[in-house]
Amino acid sequence: MAVAGQQSRASHSFTLPDLDYDYGELEPAISGEIMKLHHTKHHQTYITNFVKALEQLEQAEKDGNAEAIVKLQGAINFNGGGHVNHSIFWKNLAPSKSGGGEPPEGKLASAIKDEFGSLEKLIAKMNADGAALQGSGWVWLGLNKDLKQLAVQTTANQDPLASKGLVPLLGIDVWEHAYYLQAWTDYKNVKPDYLKNIWKVINWSDVSSRYEANL
Ligand SMILES: [Fe+2]
């Protein structure tokens, strides 16, 4: 995030990250059409509005307008959080030909077994918590760095997992915009089906790297 007093918060400071795969490569778990819209429209809009809010903040700081600065915090948190969360989400996914869906190994696999009993139990918990989430939000596998302990947590809207004191390892977007188009095609029980199928394209190698980098 830009630092107060920084010379410029030009729009190129925050740009849409490229994906490591083509939009259609996560099918049938996630349709290519949804991936394209989610990346180019939804994520891009968070970035656009984040940059806009930061530019307004810069002006408010110059003007010494405390009221305007306080008022901008909501837009900064929401849109900045949207950028942070989606940037993690894209990396947490991979086509099956690139290892998507292959179970974790090593230290993360052991930690999941210790904390949840098995990978299947972790998945069941994240699916249940994600399905039960009211409104828009995310379900996460996070790390409590102090306790060196894994935890499942949900966040509302675009709150980043850091707001709950956890390091994000794996985030699943349970906003309707992540799956709604599949309501009329493959997914009858839309949200539970989306959650059930997304595990086929989870990039556990990326999740493991985030875990080991924070131990
Ligand atoms: Fe999203």
The answer to the question of whether 22 is labelled as a binding residue is no
CA–centroid distance, 63 to ligand 1, in Å, is 34
- pLDDT value, residue 180: 80
DSSP reduced 3-state for 138? strand
Per-residue pLDDT at 186: 61
Whether residue 38 is annotated as binding a ligand: the answer is yes
User: Domain 31-94, what architecture?
Assistant: Orthogonal Bundle (1.10)
In the reported structure, the alpha carbon of residue 33 is separated from the centroid of ligand 1 by a whole-number distance in angstroms of 14
Report the separation in Å between the CA atom of 176 and the middle of ligand 1, taken as the mean of its atom positions. 8
Ligand 1 centre and the CA of 86: distance in Å?
A: 6
* Class level of CATH domain 97-213: alpha beta
Query: Do 31-94 and 97-213 show the same overall fold?
Result: no
The answer to whether 20 is annotated as binding is no
Is residue 28 reached through a cis peptide bond, with omega within 30 degrees of 0 on the bond before it?
yes
The C-alpha atoms of residue 191 and residue 73 are separated, in whole angstroms, by 31
Residue 138, both tokens: 């995310």
Q: pLDDT tens digits for the chain (215 residues)?
A: 444 444 454 545 899 999 999 999 999 999 999 999 999 999 999 999 999 999 999 999 999 999 999 999 999 999 999 999 999 999 999 999 999 999 999 999 999 999 999 999 999 999 999 999 999 999 999 999 999 999 999 999 999 999 999 999 999 999 989 988 776 566 667 888 999 999 999 999 999 999 999 99
- The reported pLDDT for the residue numbered 185 is 63
What per-residue confidence (pLDDT) applies to 184? 56
pLDDT the model gives residue 187? 61
pLDDT score recorded for residue 2:
43
Say how many Å lie between the CA of residue 84 and the centre of ligand 1: 11
On whether the CB atoms of residues 191 and 174 are closer than 8 A, the answer is yes
Q: Which of 188, 194, 173, 171 is nearest to 31 (CA)?
A: 194
Residues whose CB is under 5 A from ligand 1 (ion)? 173, 175
- 3-class state of residue 148 by DSSP: coil
Instruction: Parse the chain into domains and list their residue ranges.
Output: 31-94, 97-213
Determine the distance separating the centroid of ligand 1 and the alpha carbon of 15, expressed in angstroms.
16
CA of 61 to the centre of ligand 1 (A): 31
- Is 42 annotated to bind ligand? no
What's the one-letter identity of residue 160? P
